[in-house]
Amino acid sequence: MEVGVDIELLNQQIQAESAFIDSLKNNTSKVIVGQEYMLERLLLGLLAEGHVLLEGLPGLAKTLSIKTLSSAISAQFSRIQFTPDLLPADVIGTMIYNPGKNDFSIRKGPIFANFILADEINRAPAKVQSALLEAMQERQVTIGKESFKLQEPFLVLATQNPIEQEGTYPLPEAQVDRFMLKVKIGYPNKDEERQIIHKTISGETTQKVEPVVSPEAIIKARKLVKKVYMDDKITNYILDIVFATREPGKYGLGDLEPLMSYGGSPRASINLALASKAYAFIQRRGYVIPDDVRNVCEDVMRHRIGLTYEAEAENISQEDIISQIISKVEVP
């Protein structure tokens, strides 16, 4: 154990500081039926300072969930609807000429907010995607000769539709890597859909969500997430999972070699560690266990593994590969 780490004290701190999570969940459930998994993943991104890409069919409350969560946090929210005619200036802002003063002034774009909803991100061309992704990585925006730091907490929550490919610009693999999590959203079950019908018809989904937590509390929680104790054995477990995507033969997974064109980058290791810590925090725990790593592994890794034509021909997905790796890599 690290010198100076008092797990009991850390647990007490986390118990006290993570109380807002229950309030957030209760508040969002007034509007959102089901989709607890998606909301939990949005919270993971929020606490681990990682951007989230949501992929799902239309009508699965992706946009509504993001808007509801931002309403429950008294923070600035911006929605950008990505379209083929969108320009980088429409996202980050631009220089405006002022004829009266005979000079230029800066008009900031919608990127200057705490929560950015990039709706249908794959509908905008590469130049616009790059402008957004630069802000995600650098946490700053340059307009003309001036650079502006983005206000914390800053979080990009992007959505994309997997079924329509006509008129879309798929995100390049290197840019998708900047998202901490890629979350796939499924249909609600029959009971949940019954509740959705009832709430929509009765107008309950239009009720206002009151803020229950401040941005300052989120920033404080983020600092505490980084303090969550992670044993060297857990770090090695994370490294084994990531390295198994690069060198599967060394982990007794030689049959995966022809199925993967590339494996996880160092960002995969960093994000797997951060997401595991954030998941432990959500569970009100001051230390990471292997189950935390396994729980977040699929969402952290699925967009970081390249499939070969052979894998696609055999209808093998990234999830299949991750499942094999998790079942094979030794658990500490």
Residue-wise pLDDT for 207-257, tens only, equals: 677 788 888 888 889 999 999 999 999 999 999 999 999 999 888 888 989
CA distance 248 to 322: 11
Query: In this structure, what are the phi and psi dihedrals at residue 287, rounded to the nearest 5 degrees?
Result: -145, 155
pLDDT at 184 over 70: yes
Contacts of 266 (CB under 8 A, 6+ apart): none
Average pLDDT over residues 136-158: 85
Which pLDDT band, with edges at 50, 70 and 90, does 16 fall under? confident
pLDDT at 1 over 50: no
Cross-strand partners of 122:
none
Which pLDDT band, with edges at 50, 70 and 90, does 3 fall under? very low
Question: How far from chain centre, in Å, is Cα 96?
Answer: 33
- SS3 of 97, please? strand
For the chain, list the domains and their CATH numbers: 18-202+210-218 (3.40.50.300), 229-328 (1.10.8.80)
Average pLDDT over residues 278-283: 92
CA distance 44 to 50: 8
pTM (two decimals): 0.87
Residue-wise pLDDT for 28-83, tens only, equals: 777 777 777 888 898 899 899 889 998 887 777 777 777 888 888 888 888 888 88
Average pLDDT over residues 132-161: 84
Residue-wise pLDDT for 70-89, tens only, equals: 888 888 888 888 888 888 88
Which pLDDT band, with edges at 50, 70 and 90, does 164 fall under? low
User: For position 201, what pLDDT does the model report?
Assistant: 81
Average pLDDT over residues 18-32: 80
Least confident of 64-73, 150-159, 161-170, 192-201: 161-170
For the chain, percent of residues with pLDDT exceeding 70? 95
Residue-wise pLDDT for 185-200, tens only, equals: 888 788 878 887 887 7
For the chain, give the number of residues. 332
Contacts of 189 (CB under 8 A, 6+ apart): 34
DSSP state of 152: S
Residue-wise pLDDT for 89-144, tens only, equals: 888 888 887 887 777 778 888 999 888 888 888 888 888 888 887 788 888 888 87
User: For position 167, what pLDDT does the model report?
Assistant: 60
Q: Residue-wise over 29-38: b if at least 16 C-beta within 10 A, else e? A: ebbbbbbeeb
Q: Please, what is the average pLDDT of the chain?
A: 85
Residue-wise pLDDT for 311-320, tens only, equals: 889 998 999 9
Residue 278's nearest CA partner among 35, 40, 115, 62 is 40
